[in-house]
Amino acid sequence: MTKNILRICFFISIFICCFGNLLPGQKARSQKPSLVVVIVIDGFRHDYLTRFKSQFSRGGFEFLLGRGANFINAHVNHLRASTGAGHATILTGASGHLSGIVDNEWYDRSLHRNVNCVEDPSAPFLGEDHGAKDKTAGRSPKSLNVSTVGDQLRLATNLRSKVVGISYKDRAAILLGGRLANAAYWWEPTTGDFVSSTYYMNELPKWVKRFNQEKFVNQFFRRHWDKLLDDHAYAVSRADSFPHEMDYKGMGIVFPHLVDGSSKNPDKEFYEAFSHTPWADSHLAAFAKAVIENENLGNGDFTDILAISFSATDRIGHLFGPYSVEIQDQVLRLDRLLKDLFAYLDKKIGVNNIIIALTADHGTGPIPEYMAGLNIDGGRIDVIPSIVDSVLDRQYGQGDWVEAFLKPSVYLSHGEIKIRNLKSADVENTAAEELRRVREITHVVTRTQLTMGDLPPDIIPRRFLNQFYPSRSGDILVHWKPY
Ligand SMILES: [Zn+2]
């Protein structure tokens, strides 16, 4: 079981190319690279590299696989492996117990609400239609406690190195960049534009405004996303029509997918649909080139870092699952996109002068009903808060015992515990014992166990501990069976 969990959730690969050492007939790479390009593919499973290998181009993934180092036994060492936590780890080396980024969001007991891992009301959005509207909607890396590679590079060069993070997701761009990044830019679904926050600058640079004015996304309104290759190329994927795939914003579950958000004009609905197509990555790649040109990256005396996190693989994986024709098509299109990006980097800066690293923030689980249909025990459970609430009602009297539940964390009401003069450890344990009786649950770990170091000698509790940050984590952490 543990092996399965590892394969599905945590496999992560990193390729690093030092091209100058590898391309025959070219000059040796200068001592320091001009530019480090860190590419994160959100939700990219390691097996995508092997399942679809025969259909890769020569210049995309194959370029890295053939000429770089391929780390096939590297793991994310924390639970839950979400986008925020993953991106906070990639360039810091620290899991949530140090970085403080325990998940995409967590429950804040003083604010009595969930907070986003890059939320910062003191750093409002910069971009069209933003700013004064929602004062809680600012973004910055203020919740990230540790430094990134980029932060250390900036410190080491008297801030002469430039560091920029970009993504369709705010948390990905911001957490890869770190506290000292020159800029982080992410995509905003209400406008289809790239935005930033006042943490980095007073207003968006002119070139970003110009880039946004071109409305790259709108050219795809009402277009159909169709398959890149002939039908027979998709034999390694599940039949296209599978009822448990999600029909998101009218895109349907079979090719060709009409991308209009069921709207009459390009609007938020359309932009959100668009972000679930391979074209979203094309948009980000175009923006990456604009960053290199306009920020003059890789052209100075000091090494620069550009971190790019492509989000479409994750979103398409969420809708259609990792065994779908859609995910295969996405990976093949991303491969061609990377080929184009690498060719651009070579032409612009020269591959001798660049280091490229490619990795993922986490994997993608299969659709539970698909596994169940194959007689593999799969399904959905949504009973954890109610189980906790009823067992504590029975044991200690009626109360609102669960203050918040964010998978996999139950945040107990400390008020209910205090009013009754109970010991937290006892209440946690009562709830945990009841949860351990649920057939689909494999591990339940409590706050007291984590803080006292009283854990079973197993990799799952250890990974919970690596992500445990007392003021942000829950009181009971639950892990369930694969699928
Ligand atoms: Zn992710």
Interval 293-306 mean pLDDT: 97
Q: Of the given ranges (30-44, 197-211, 293-307), which has the lowest mean pLDDT? A: 30-44
**Residue 75 confidence (pLDDT):** 87
Please name which of 412, 397, 410, 459 lies closest in space to residue 438, comparing C-alpha atoms. Answer: 410
Strand partners, 11: 75
Distance, CA of 400 to CA of 414 (rounded, Å):
10
pLDDT 10s digits, 184-193: 999 999 999 9
Q: Which fold, 2-371?
A: Alkaline Phosphatase, subunit A (3.40.720)
Residues 6+ apart with CB under 8 A from 192: 215, 217, 218, 266, 271, 274
Position 128 confidence tier, pLDDT thresholds 50, 70, 90: low
Question: Per-domain residue ranges for the chain?
Answer: 2-371, 384-480
**Residue 17 confidence (pLDDT):** 43
Please name which of 105, 165, 125, 140 lies closest in space to residue 309, comparing C-alpha atoms. Answer: 165
**Residue 135 confidence (pLDDT):** 52
State in Å: Cα 444 to ligand 1 middle. 24
State in Å: Cα 94 to ligand 1 middle. 17
State in Å: Cα 384 to ligand 1 middle. 24
Distance, CA of 195 to CA of 188 (rounded, Å):
7
Strands 163-167 vs 304-310: parallel, antiparallel or unpaired = parallel
At residue 93, does pLDDT exceed 50?
A: yes
Active-site residue identified among 83, 89, 92, 148: 83
Strands 441-446 vs 409-412: parallel, antiparallel or unpaired = unpaired
**Residue 22 confidence (pLDDT):** 41
Strands 163-167 vs 183-188: parallel, antiparallel or unpaired = parallel
**Residue 136 confidence (pLDDT):** 60
Written out in words, the top-level CATH class of the domain with range 384-480 is: alpha beta
**Residue 130 confidence (pLDDT):** 52
Interval 201-209 mean pLDDT: 97
At residue 16, does pLDDT exceed 50?
A: no
State in Å: Cα 40 to ligand 1 middle. 9
Distance, CA of 194 to CA of 211 (rounded, Å):
9
**Residue 10 confidence (pLDDT):** 36
Distance, CA of 377 to CA of 382 (rounded, Å):
16
At residue 1, does pLDDT exceed 90?
A: no
With contact defined as beta carbons under 8 Å apart, do 178 and 91 qualify? yes
**Residue 319 confidence (pLDDT):** 98
Percentage of the chain exceeding pLDDT 90: 89
Position 57 confidence tier, pLDDT thresholds 50, 70, 90: very high
Distances (CA, A) of 462 to 201, 309, 391, 437, 466: 40, 28, 27, 21, 6
Strands 441-446 vs 105-108: parallel, antiparallel or unpaired = unpaired
The separation between CA 66 and the C-alpha centre of its own chain, rounded to angstroms, equals 26
Mean pLDDT of the chain: 92
Examine the residue annotation and report whether 359 is marked as an active-site residue of this protein.
no
| HEC per residue, the chain | CHHHHHHHHHEEEEEEEEHHHCCCCCCCCCCCCCEEEEEEECCCCCHHHHHCHHHCCCCCHHHHHHHCEEEEEEECCCCCCCHHHHHHHHCCCCCHHHHCCCCCEEEECCCCEEEECCECCCCCEECCCCCCCCCCCCECCCCCCCCCHHHHHHHHCCCCCCEEEEECCHHHHHHHHCCCCCEEEEEECCCCEEEEECCCCCCCCHHHHHHHHCCHHHHHCCEEECCCCCHHHHCCCCCCCCCCCCCCCCCCCCCCEEECCCCCCCCHHHHHHHCCCCHHHHHHHHHHHHHHHHCCCCCCCCCEEEEEEECHHHHHHHHHCCCCHHHHHHHHHHHHHHHHHHHHHHHHCCHHHEEEEEECCCCCCCCHHHHHHCCCCCCCCCCHHHHHHHHHHHHHCCCCCEEEEECCEEEECHHHHHHCCCCHHHHHHHHHHHHHCCCCEEEEEEHHHHHHCCCCCCHHHHHHHHCCCCCCCCCEEEEECCC
Which amino acid would we find at residue 474? G
**Residue 157 confidence (pLDDT):** 98
State in Å: Cα 232 to ligand 1 middle. 30
Interval 268-282 mean pLDDT: 98
**Residue 24 confidence (pLDDT):** 43
State in Å: Cα 410 to ligand 1 middle. 22
State in Å: Cα 442 to ligand 1 middle. 24
**Residue 74 confidence (pLDDT):** 87
Distance, CA of 282 to CA of 288 (rounded, Å):
10
Distance, CA of 72 to CA of 45 (rounded, Å):
11
What's the angle, vertex CA 93, arms to CA 140 and CA 366, rounded to 5? 85
Distance, CA of 397 to CA of 31 (rounded, Å):
69
Position 21 confidence tier, pLDDT thresholds 50, 70, 90: very low
Interval 124-134 mean pLDDT: 69
Strands 354-359 vs 304-310: parallel, antiparallel or unpaired = unpaired
